[in-house]
Amino acid sequence: MATTAVAEAPRMAGMRFGRAARRYGWTVAVYALLAVLMVTTIIIKPDYGAFEWNTLTLAALPLAFAAAAQTMVVLSGGIDLSVGPLMALANVLALRAMLGHDLNYSLGVALIVLLEVTLAGALNGAIIVLTRVPDIVVTLATSFIWAGLALLVLAKPTPGIPLDVQNLAQGSALSPWVPNALLLLLVVPLVWIPLRRSRAGLAIYAVGSDRNAAFRSGVNLGLSRVLAYSVGGFFAACGGLALSMTTGVGSPLAGTYYTLSAVSAIVLGGVSLAGGRGGILGVVAAAYILSLIPAVFIYLGIDPNYGQMIQGVLIVIVVMIGGLGAVLRRV
Amino acid sequence: MAALLVAGFALVACGGSPSNGGSTATKYTVGVSNTLTGNGWREEMICSIKAQAKASGVVSKVIIANRTTDAAGQIADIRNLISSGANVIVINPSDRDALNSVIKQATDKGIVVVAVDQAVSEPSAYVVTNDQVAYGNLGADWLAKKLGGKGNIIEMRGINGVPADTDRHQGLTAALAKYPNIKVVKQTFTNWSLDPAAQQMKDIFSSGIKFDGIWTSGIDSTVVDQFQSSNKPFVPIVGADNNKFVQELATLKDKGLTGAAVTNPPPIGGAGLAVGLATLQKSHSYDHVIHLTPQVWDNTTADGAAKLAQTYDSTLDPYYSVAFDVKPYTTYTKQDLIACQGPG
């Protein structure tokens, strides 16, 4: 009996390691890639300092939130084309309500905006579940609704986010190396990690990977999908508020660039577009990588348009390596 | 994979880094931030900055942050230009107010920031622009007069919310207030891109909207082309001093095209750099806000027709503006602009 236990232990450990590698391998690889790129950047630009690190975090912040929003929906087997317009909606609602008010009032406004746009996300999910129209069609349609609503709230870009609110993202209260924007980004793991470990989070994965199996295991499909869209709406709202804080203005077209960039970030971050696979933490690193590339091109004095090509090449290479890994595992 | 990327970056680094030789007098680094790509006007603006940098003889390097992005992306680009050691940063702003804090950070570090083409509200920046309110005003006034103060017009704007579009719309609205019988029956945003403008014209033709004149914010020859390809009789069209539109105004007059080109020179970019360099060298003290007054080239007057015929240049890109300099600020030649080469 003692001998079997001894023999069993390493095998168990081996299995656990294999599972952990499968589950977290990509995330670790993305962080490793980010680390390598950071080191490369520092070699290229030896005076890389707190200012540059703050620049990178400010640029990555809205993209990371947009990508987190998209990740939630994609994990549940859907796709949300309205992430950008939801960000714009949060952005203009915040401007309209915060204009001329102080910090405390504005924080109250931010909470209400988060709630409103979370509900808008829930509505996306509810329409999809109730009408059974494909996600891509519904969110394409609602993207026009949210964008139109944003234009109704605010017709043109308007300044007026209170300075104290802007400093919540632009300053660095603790240390120059810990920009406030980085602290704001902690919202992502603070929401994600508890959700990931809960039954509801597991249900979102289950629905995304195999809807029939999830249904037969007693998962409430509709509720899980609406939850995924709601949390997605919440992250999109965070992204819109991040834009308010980093630019100081409300703009009805604020989120335009983030719907598709978010898809790039989640693919690079290891989320399977087929659903049910991946996590948010790798996606955050991917947002940093995608923001670092144009910066490096400017440091090198090269047209950042090439940076966009490099991003494309990078995504293709990473996805190909990921696909190769999946094939090898199967063999 | 990581190694591959590092190699890629290193390769790029070798190819792109300027030579450090030559210890001549102080040479400046110029940063440029532009957020609309694939647009002839903006490309010409960037070429004028490169040409002026070279002609000035005091610039060692021009770093161009040129990508399609939003205000948040432009803030990151400007911060990266600050990090790259730029002494002068020329920006075409994507928003009037959103860049203020980053501009302030740059000017606090002694960097001269010049906003060209469109204004910013940060007082420490220099603003060198065409008078965009006058641009909207003069063109709309010409159109209203041409229509005898009565009729329906279509307003084809630029990008919703960017400063130049807002200013031009304000100018147009003010001009039309004097003509109560002129009605704007349709408003579109071309995003200063050719394809949307072409599609919008097709939609307008098929919708059966009755209109007597078109005001465009510079996507002009596309509109003329749509009239030709749809075999519709021309209405008076207001555009900008773009090469192809200038040619059309000169050559299609016999076929009934009346129109006016309102000047909006892209070399405002080079002019902005000249102002920035002079400020840096303390060789000249400029006002913080410099406005160029646009001219109206009307193909129905003798003066206008002569100007149009004389400025059209078959060697120039059709979507470039015919204006190759902004006197007295720019000092490069037309060949420099077409060559589009910076120093080094």
Q: What's the rounded Cα separation, in Å, for the pair B187 and B169? A: 10
Evaluate if residue A154 carries a pLDDT over 70. Answer: yes
Distance from CA of A33 to the nearest CA of B (A): 6
Q: How far is CA A309 from CA A314, B84, B329, in A?
A: 9, 22, 36
Query: Residue B170 burial by CB count (10 A; 0-12/13-18/19+): exposed, middle or buried?
Result: middle
Mean pLDDT of A120-134: 97
CA within 13 Å, CB half, A272: 14
* Res A249: pLDDT: 94
- From 3.40.50.2300, 3.40.190.10, 3.40.800.20, 2.60.40.420, which CATH number describes the B132-262 domain? 3.40.50.2300
> Please, what is the average pLDDT of chain B?
90
Evaluate if residue B242 carries a pLDDT over 70. Answer: yes
Tokens, residue B220: 């002009």
* Res B23: pLDDT: 42
Interface touch B10/A170, C-beta < 8 Å: no
pLDDT digits (tens, 9 = 90+) for A39-70: 999 999 999 999 999 999 999 999 999 999 99
Mean pLDDT of B74-84: 96
> Please, what is the average pLDDT of chain A?
91
Q: What's the rounded Cα separation, in Å, for the pair B327 and B308? A: 19
* Res B344: pLDDT: 74
Evaluate if residue A16 carries a pLDDT over 90. Answer: no
How many helices and strands, by DSSP H and E, does chain A display?
14, 2
Q: How far is CA B99 from CA A91, B113, B123, B209, B291, in A?
A: 16, 11, 12, 40, 20
Mean pLDDT of A271-279: 91
Mean pLDDT of B305-327: 89
Tokens, residue A176: 């120059």
So what's the ipTM on this one? 0.89
Q: What's the rounded Cα separation, in Å, for the pair B229 and B226? A: 5
Q: CA nearest A252 in B: which residue?
A: B161
Tokens, residue A278: 């991946």
Mean pLDDT of A22-42: 91
- Using a CB-CB cut-off of 8 Å, the residues of chain A touching B79 are 51-52, 54-55, 58
Where is pLDDT greater, at A310 or A225? A225
Interface touch A58/B66, C-beta < 8 Å: no
Mean pLDDT of B88-98: 95
Residue B13 is nearest to which of A58, A249, A300, comparing CB atoms? A300
> What are the DSSP calls for A145-209, one per residue?
HHHHHHHHH-SS-EE---HHHHHHHHS-SSBTTB-HHHHHHTHHHHHHHHHHHSHHHHHHHHHHH
Give yes or no for A261 touching B (CB within 8 A). no
Q: What's the rounded Cα separation, in Å, for the pair A318 and A29? A: 10
Residue B275 banded pLDDT, cuts 50, 70, 90 = very high
Residue A331 banded pLDDT, cuts 50, 70, 90 = low
Q: How would you classify residue B239: left for phi > 0, otherwise alpha for psi between -120 and 50, otherwise beta?
A: beta
* Res B6: pLDDT: 47
Residue B67 is nearest to which of A45, A51, A294, comparing CB atoms? A294
- Using a CB-CB cut-off of 8 Å, the residues of chain B touching A294 are 65, 67, 73, 76-77, 80
pLDDT digits (tens, 9 = 90+) for A229-242: 999 999 999 999 99
Query: Which of A69-73, A293-297, A312-316 is predicted least confidently?
Result: A312-316
Cis status, amide bond into B328, omega within 30 of 0: yes
Q: A61, A99, A298: best mutation site toward chain B, by most B Cβ within 10 Å?
A: A298
A55 and B21 Cβ atoms separated by less than 8 Å:
no
Burial A180-215 (b: 16+ CB within 10 A, else e): bbbebbebbeebbeebbeeebbebbbbbbbebeebe
* Res A40: pLDDT: 95
- Using a CB-CB cut-off of 8 Å, the residues of chain B touching A304 are 65-67, 77
Tokens, residue A198: 């809960």
Q: What's the rounded Cα separation, in Å, for the pair A56 and A21? A: 29
pLDDT digits (tens, 9 = 90+) for B170-186: 999 999 999 999 999 99
User: Residues 89 to 128 of A: which have CB under 8 A from any B CB?
Assistant: none
Mean pLDDT of A107-134: 97
Where is pLDDT greater, at A304 or B140? B140
Evaluate if residue A21 carries a pLDDT over 80. Answer: no
* Res A14: pLDDT: 66
Q: How far is CA B134 from CA B103, B145, B169, B294, in A?
A: 26, 16, 10, 7
- Using a CB-CB cut-off of 8 Å, the residues of chain A touching B61 are 301
Interface touch A59/B76, C-beta < 8 Å: yes
Q: What's the DSSP call for residue B34?
A: E
User: Residues 55 to 114 of B: which have CB under 8 A from any A CB?
Assistant: 61, 63-73, 75-77, 79-84, 95-98, 100-101
Q: What's the DSSP call for residue B321?
A: B
Residue A10 banded pLDDT, cuts 50, 70, 90 = low
* Res B246: pLDDT: 95
Tokens, residue B296: 């109206």
Mean pLDDT of A93-110: 95
Distance from CA of A296 to the nearest CA of B (A): 9
Interface touch B6/A254, C-beta < 8 Å: no
CA within 13 Å, CB half, B109: 18
Q: What's the DSSP call for residue B84?
A: T
| CB within 8 Å of A149: residues ≥ 6 apart | A89
pTM of the model: 0.87
Closest CA to B118 of B241, B217, B38: B217
Evaluate if residue B9 carries a pLDDT over 70. Answer: no
Residue A310 banded pLDDT, cuts 50, 70, 90 = confident
Where is pLDDT greater, at B42 or A12? B42
Residue A78 banded pLDDT, cuts 50, 70, 90 = very high
* Res B11: pLDDT: 43
B234 and B227 Cβ atoms separated by less than 8 Å:
yes
- Helix (H, G, I), strand (E, B), or coil: what is residue B162? coil
Query: Which of A324-328, B186-190, B257-261, B267-271 is predicted least confidently?
Result: A324-328
- Using a CB-CB cut-off of 8 Å, the residues of chain B touching A166 are 101
Q: A33, A55, A168: best mutation site toward chain B, by most B Cβ within 10 Å?
A: A55
Residue B260's beta-bridge partner residues?
B238, B298
* Res B19: pLDDT: 40
Q: B70, B91, B187: best mutation site toward chain A, by most A Cβ within 10 Å?
A: B70
Interface touch A256/B70, C-beta < 8 Å: yes
Give yes or no for B305 touching A (CB within 8 A). no
Evaluate if residue B116 carries a pLDDT over 80. Answer: yes
Query: Which of A12-16, A210-214, A300-304 is predicted least confidently?
Result: A12-16
Mean pLDDT of B145-169: 92
Interface touch B1/A247, C-beta < 8 Å: no
Ramachandran angles phi, psi of A288, nearest 5°: -65, -45
Residue B161 is nearest to which of A45, A157, A257, comparing CB atoms? A157
Mean pLDDT of B55-70: 92
Q: Give the Cα-Cα-Cα angle B321, B322, B325 (nearest 5 degrees).
A: 95
E strand or H helix at B188: strand B182-189
Evaluate if residue A200 carries a pLDDT over 70. Answer: yes
Residue B2 is nearest to which of A33, A159, A308, comparing CB atoms? A33
Level-2 CATH architecture, domain B26-130+266-293+323-339: 3-Layer(aba) Sandwich (3.40)
Give the domains, in start order, of chain A with CATH numbers. 54-256+264-330 (1.10.3470)
Q: What's the rounded Cα separation, in Å, for the pair A242 and A58? A: 9
Mean pLDDT of B289-295: 94
- Using a CB-CB cut-off of 8 Å, the residues of chain A touching B67 are 294, 304-305, 307-308
Q: What is the 3-state secondary structure (H, E, C) of B227-264?
A: HHHCCCCCCCEEEECEHHHHHHHHHCCCCCCCEEEECC
**Dihedral angle at the C-alpha atoms of A121, A241, A308, A75, nearest 10 degrees?**
-30
Interface touch A314/B83, C-beta < 8 Å: no
Q: CA nearest A307 in B: which residue?
A: B67
| CB within 8 Å of B21: residues ≥ 6 apart | none
Mean pLDDT of B10-32: 58
Mean pLDDT of B130-154: 96
* Res A218: pLDDT: 93
Tokens, residue A58: 């400010």
Closest CA to B74 of B55, B49, B94, B50: B94
* Res A6: pLDDT: 53
Mean pLDDT of A1-29: 68
| CB within 8 Å of A119: residues ≥ 6 apart | A230, A233
Residue B22 banded pLDDT, cuts 50, 70, 90 = very low
* Res A8: pLDDT: 61
Interface touch A246/B72, C-beta < 8 Å: yes
Give yes or no for B14 touching A (CB within 8 A). no
Domain with CATH 3.40.50.2300 in chain B: 26-130+266-293+323-339, 132-262
How many residue contacts between A and B have a Cβ separation below 8 Å?
134
Residue A13 banded pLDDT, cuts 50, 70, 90 = low
Interface touch A305/B67, C-beta < 8 Å: yes
Give yes or no for A248 touching B (CB within 8 A). yes
Residue A51 is nearest to which of B13, B83, B160, comparing CB atoms? B83
Interface touch A156/B161, C-beta < 8 Å: yes
Q: What percentage of chain B exceeds 70 in pLDDT?
A: 93
